Amino acid sequence: MFKNIVIVGTGYVGIPVAAMFADKGFNVIGINRTKEKVDLINKGLCPIEGDEPNLPELIEKVVKGKNLIATTDYSACKNADAILICVETPFDSDKWEPRYDSLKSALKSIAENMSKGTLVIVESTIAPTTMDTLVKPLLENISKMKAGEDFLLGNCPERVMPGKLLYNIENLSRVCGGINKATQDKMLELYSHIVKGELYPTDCITAEVVKTAENAYRDVEIAFANEVALICEKLGINAYEVRDLVNKAPYRNMHLPGAGVGGHCLPKDSLLLSYGVKGLLTPELMILARNLNKKMPIHTAGLLIDLFKEKGIQIKGSKITVCGFAYLENSDDTRNTPALEVINTLINKGANVEVHDPFVRVYEGLEIKKDFYNSIKDSEALVFVTAHSEYKKLDLNKIKQLMKTPIIIDGRNIFEKEEILRKGFLYRGVGKG
């Protein structure tokens, strides 16, 4: 029987999970190392900006009802029946290895505080074999307890997505990887309180592979769409029309091309999957796809650079406004955002870059404007990197009046090319010849 649940990490994965368990009557404690975020949650406020349906209201409700509190103190683990680990697990492409600093720190603190009989679950995405080679030995060595006997250990990879956090947790199926059947049964019991989708019991390494493979699969599909887009640009046709017609054929579901792939999962999960067989096999297709997707922000900036050359406009000293900094529309999530590569490419060419985003407040000292029309004033060009809903409702006539030169680079198929040209703009778009 579960009563007390601790969630370690209260970001995009942890906070919706915490709120949902709290709403089901569990006593939930969210642990975060940032006191500012802890204080925000304890005031009943949502730490995530952007359009996140029902999450702010749910957090306010469960905090007010005293079913959810936040803290920086790991001693909360002493009375926990279940501990869910929801910390970041980025990948260091230079060293070609996962960065498990946050995971190791969380595991160490949990092991120092947890009691016998606790169910410990890693929801963070990890490379295959990590449960066996890192998580289990670290917990056992520090706690002096044995997994499977003194405590239960499992891996239930998250499947959340900004903008659909609560919906995905409630409705998508989950893989419950446990070190033994007793663990799997307990995981099924726990998650059945908040998940309406199917729950599939399996072992830990299968769960690890499932999560990394499903995101690697999507990254490969996006890479295919991006390569078709590059082909269409050269042939002078519209990749989005091609996509629509391709998808009329049975068993075809071509993804959308665009200015780049961001987020916490897709840019790293194929690398985590590859890392899991390091020394045994060198995957090829997934790495090729990853490298192609990494080039798309540079290509997007290149569309503008080439247009400036064609029209004899000096990019050095020109004001260019990058529209959208979050990696995903209507979100404040900036993790691995392709906008950063677009910005850096333009700055390296000498451009003066302004950045607008309706949801992102700050990013490592980068000034991000909130007033769209003020941010584009006297711009030589606008580069749209994120398909925020706000951008689909813009007054094109007003934009043209405010800009120094009416140039639009469309990285997300926000605009119809013919309409933009009729309005008197110069236009280039990813996948649009």
Q: How many residues are listed for the chain in this entry? A: 433
H or E element that contains 420: helix 417-422
Pair 86, 17: CB distance under 8 Å: yes
What three-state secondary structure class fits 376?
coil
How far apart are alpha carbons 227 and 245 in whole angstroms? Answer: 17
- HEC letters along 138-202: HHHHHHCCCECCCEEEEECCCCCCCCCHHHHHHHCCEEEEECCHHHHHHHHHHHCCCCCCCEEEE
386-405 burial, b for 16+ CB within 10 Å, e for fewer? bbbebbeebebeebeebbeb
Distance CA 195, CA 397 (A): 48
Q: Token digits for 422? A: 């009729």
Q: 426 in helix, strand or coil?
A: strand
Which tokens sit at 361?
A: 């407040």
CB 351 within 8 A of CB 315: yes
Which residues touch 262 (CB under 8 Å, ≥6 apart)?
A: 327, 328, 333, 334, 335, 336, 337, 338, 339
In whole angstroms, give the CA distance from residue 114 to residue 347: 49
Residue 407 has a CB neighbour count (10 Å cut-off) of: 22
Is 28 within 8 Å of 58 (Cβ atoms)?
A: no
211 is catalytic: yes
Catalytic residue, chosen from 37, 136, 186, 211, is 211
**The one catalytic residue among 77, 86, 265, 323:** 265
Q: Partners of 85 in the beta sheet?
A: 8, 122
- The Cα–Cα gap between 423 and 401 comes to 11
Element (H, E) at 428: strand 426-429
77 is catalytic: no
Query: Which of 84, 143, 133, 154 shows the shortest CA–CA distance to 109?
Result: 143
Q: Which residues are known to be catalytic?
A: 211, 265
